[in-house]
Amino acid sequence: MTDATAAPALKPANPRFSSGPCAKRPGWTVEALSGAPVGRSHRAKIGKTKLAEAIDLTRKVLRVPADYRIGIVPASDTGAVEMALWSLLGQRPVDMLAWESFGSGWVTDVVKQLKIDARVLEAPYGDIVDFAKVDFDRDVVFTWNGTTSGVRMPNGDAIPANRQGLTICDATSAAFAQPLPFDKLDVVTFSWQKVLGGEGGHGMLILSPRAVERLESYKPAWPLPKIFRLTSGGKLIEGIFKGDTINTPSMIAVEDYIDALKWADAIGGLDALIARADANTKAIADWVAKTPSVAFLAKTEAIRSNTSVCLSFVHPDVAALDVEGQQAFVKTLTGLLEKEGVAFDIASYRDAPPGLRIWCGATVETSDVAALTPWIDWAFAKALAGLTKAA
């Protein structure tokens, strides 16, 4: 890294690089919410119209097949994943795949809570499981993009078209920034507050015809809470997938999501969103290539996330510290950046190896990413000087 003693002149125009809730779309103001039907029932015509619009725009921008159902569900991506796990699993054995903390959380739910016959395949932070070992005649649960590890699926080639089991994919930090092969995915979940910078609290549940068939032909052995119930009398509750939500949604949050979808559509849809995330990640990659003291946590470029970009400090003085010492170093560095109003919330996730996690999703401007990296050099030099002095 450059041992810059003077602070860079240029700061990011938007210092919000949090991995969730993420930065709002460029140009966003609170006026974007002026059309929200506040104080109106979500079951009134205007409320149902807004919810249906959100579903229809999701289908258009994300390119969801016409025969897949899209539902707005409670409790963000977590709620959507839990609905799928509790409603669909148990008919056949399961392969649980995990390469970061949220995937490990789904393992805990399935193994310890549902107590299903599950085989667990895990990979350490920075790597991904060997898909040659996955049995797709079993149900398979996995994250597409590891938000806390910066590791993503390179593609869906390893998933066979003639699989017997269902594929249940947590795509919360991948949707709208990475291509999702829906023909290989039976359940896809995500939340509004990631790539499109929406508000928290609501999740999306996308079901293939195969997933619907499972729901209508299989009844789990355990009781289902009301907010998890997707069927009634052995039939799919179709209203959920037409805007008749299970619980009361925030119409302000719905309006904000619609605004983000309209922005995405206006700039060129999914291709444009992916291109923006790729450009942001390239700005980080160009900096890493010339900065020997930092490295991507992802072991290979093929599995490197273009949204939740995770970095490790490999400078010998930092690498020699124990985990607690490295965490303290990161806290000092990120504290300097926050104090300067340069970058907020970019420390690595608490369960991940100490380092940085910089959100590079589609709502972030590449110019802001480029302006950030010299400031990381500056903060690193400051923090390293403090470390050396303390020694």
With 60 as the cut, is the pLDDT of residue 263 above it?
Answer: yes
Q: pTM score, two decimals?
A: 0.97
Length of the chain: 391
Q: Please report which confidence band the pLDDT of residue 82 belongs to, taking 50, 70 and 90 as the band edges.
A: very high
Single out the residue of 358, 380, 235, 359 nearest to residue 314, CA to CA.
380
* CB of 222 closer than 8 Å to CB of 198: no
pLDDT tens track for 15-58? 999 999 999 999 999 999 999 999 999 999 999 999 999 999 99
With 50 as the cut, is the pLDDT of residue 1 above it?
Answer: no
Catalogue all structural domains in the chain, each as residue range(s) with its CATH number. Answer: 30-265 (3.40.640.10), 269-390 (3.90.1150.10)
Q: What is the pLDDT of residue 2?
A: 46
Distance of alpha carbon 343 from alpha carbon 365, whole angstroms: 13
Q: What is the chain's mean pLDDT, rounded?
A: 96
* CB of 214 closer than 8 Å to CB of 207: no
Q: What is the pLDDT of residue 4?
A: 52
Residue 215 CA, chain-centre distance (Å), reads 25
Mean pLDDT, rounded, for 206-215? 98
Q: What is the pLDDT of residue 390?
A: 74
Q: What is the pLDDT of residue 101?
A: 93
pLDDT tens track for 111-137? 999 999 899 999 999 999 999 999 999
With 50 as the cut, is the pLDDT of residue 173 above it?
Answer: yes
**Count of other CB atoms within 10 angstroms of residue 155:** 12
Distance of alpha carbon 291 from alpha carbon 60, whole angstroms: 40
Distance of alpha carbon 82 from alpha carbon 221, whole angstroms: 16
| Strand 356-359 with 294-296, pairing | unpaired
Mean pLDDT, rounded, for 223-228? 94
Distance of alpha carbon 193 from alpha carbon 156, whole angstroms: 24
Angle between helices 323-339 and 366-390 (to 10 degrees): 130
Q: Give percent of the chain above pLDDT 70.
A: 98
Distance of alpha carbon 12 from alpha carbon 373, whole angstroms: 10
pLDDT tens track for 311-353? 999 999 999 999 999 999 999 999 999 999 999 999 999 999 9
Single out the residue of 118, 256, 151, 141 nearest to residue 188, CA to CA.
141
With 50 as the cut, is the pLDDT of residue 292 above it?
Answer: yes
Residue 275 in tokens? 């291109």
CA dihedral (142, 145, 150, 156) positive or negative = positive
Question: What does residue 43 show for φ and ψ, rounded to 5 degrees?
Answer: -95, -5
With 80 as the cut, is the pLDDT of residue 67 above it?
Answer: yes
DSSP annotation string for 257-325:
HHHHHHHHHHTTHHHHHHHHHHHHHHHHHHHHHT-TTEEESSSSGGGB-SSEEEEEE--HHHHTS-HHH
Q: What is the pLDDT of residue 313?
A: 98
Mean pLDDT, rounded, for 269-298? 98
Single out the residue of 360, 364, 75, 21 nearest to residue 193, CA to CA.
21
* CB of 203 closer than 8 Å to CB of 75: yes
Q: What's the half-sphere exposure (Cβ side, CA atoms, 13 Å) at 368?
A: 22
pLDDT tens track for 175-186? 999 999 999 999
Mean pLDDT, rounded, for 89-101? 97
With 60 as the cut, is the pLDDT of residue 105 above it?
Answer: yes
